[in-house]
Every structure is written in structure tokens, then in C-alpha cells.
Amino acid sequence: MAEKNPSSKIKSESKKIAEKILKLINVNAIVNVESQDDLIKINIDGEDLGLLIGYRGENIESFQLLLGIIINKTLELAQWRPVLVDVGGWRQQREEALRILVNKEIENISAGQTSVELPPMPPAQRRSVHLLVGEHEGLTSESAGEGENRHVVIKKTG
């Protein structure tokens, strides 16, 4: 299958692959797939999806990586298509929680603190925090720590 895969073919094959993996790990869920521009979005809904989300979202990131590799290799696309997986709306809820946390800490910096350290989080969440902080003038962010203790520090610039 070369690049000539229509969007519906990409969606149906991606759905089949996701459903097959979920079946292998005994997770009963509904899979919906959207293909937007160069992105394949896979939404998984059902009950007891905690296994797929994991501690601090680590399993969802691993599942997303695995699905991305399998889908791209199976479809043999000429150009790699990123795959974004959301499980039970977790990613969207986490983005909103991060936005609230960052805004709260920015208020603390505005009230006189020179810097704040956020709790440890996975790379994708740290990246989101850096993007959120980047929307505010006079602030910068950097990742600090090692391994599971890696976190974001938000600071005033200058």
C-alpha cells in the first residue's frame, strides 16, 4: 500500500489495529479514529481504562508510541503520520488541569515569587507546560531533575 491510501482506508486500518491490540490485552473499549491533515487521532472509550492510562499517563504515552509504529509500518505510508491517542478523554482533562496549574503558579510569580517548581511529569506534559508558559511575557520555563523526578521550573526573565 503506497501513499495513495484514502483517508477512510487509513481510518479503518488504524481502528482495526487498535481494536486488535486492545483485545490482546483484554480491554473492552470502543475505538473511534479521525484522520486530520497529517495526524491520526484515536479516541478510546469504555469502562476500567485505568490500565491504558497508567500512572501519570505513562501507559497512554507508551500505547500511543506502539500504535504509531504499528500503524505506520502496516500502512506503508510514504510519509510518517503522527498518531495521537486519547483514552476516556484523559488527555483533554489533563491538558485543562495543566492549564489551571500553570495559571495558578504564574499568579504566584506575579505575587512576588521568583520561581516555582511543578511536580514531576512525563515529557509530553512538560512540553505542554513549556508551551503554556511561552504564551506569557516575562516568564521562562525549563525542565530540571532526572528520570521520574524530571519536572518544570517556571521563572521570571531578566
Predicted confidence (pLDDT) at residue 5 exceeds the cutoff of 50: no
pTM of the predicted protein model: 0.76
pLDDT number for residue 1: 43
pLDDT number for residue 40: 95
SS3 143: strand
CATH architecture of 92-156: 2-Layer Sandwich (3.30)
pLDDT (tens digit per residue) in 17-62: 999 999 999 999 999 999 887 899 999 999 889 989 998 788 999 9
SS3 content of the chain, % helix, strand, coil (to 5): 50, 25, 25
Q: Give the burial class of 143: count Cβ atoms within 10 A of its Cβ; 0-12 exposed, 13-18 middle, 19 or more buried.
A: middle
pLDDT (tens digit per residue) in 59-99: 999 999 999 999 999 998 888 999 999 999 999 899 999 99
Does an H or E element contain 69, and which? Answer: helix 58-75
| Pairs from 33-36 (Cβ < 8 Å, separation ≥ 24) | 35/7, 35/10, 35/11
pLDDT number for residue 68: 95
Residue 1, C-alpha cell as written in the block: 500500500
Predicted confidence (pLDDT) at residue 4 exceeds the cutoff of 80: no
Q: With helix as H, strand as E and coil as C, how does 5-59 read?
A: CCHHHHHHHHHHHHHHHHHHCCCCEEEEEEEECCEEEEEEEECCCHHHHCHHHHH
Q: Which CATH code of 3.30.420.40, 3.30.300.20, 3.40.50.1010, 3.30.70.270 fits the domain covering 7-88?
A: 3.30.300.20
Q: 7-88 and 92-156 share one CATH topology? A: no
The residues spanned by each domain of the chain are: 7-88, 92-156
Rounded Cα distance between 154 and 140, Å, is 6
CB atoms under 10 Å from CB of 113, counted, come to 14
pLDDT (tens digit per residue) in 108-131: 998 888 999 999 998 889 999 999
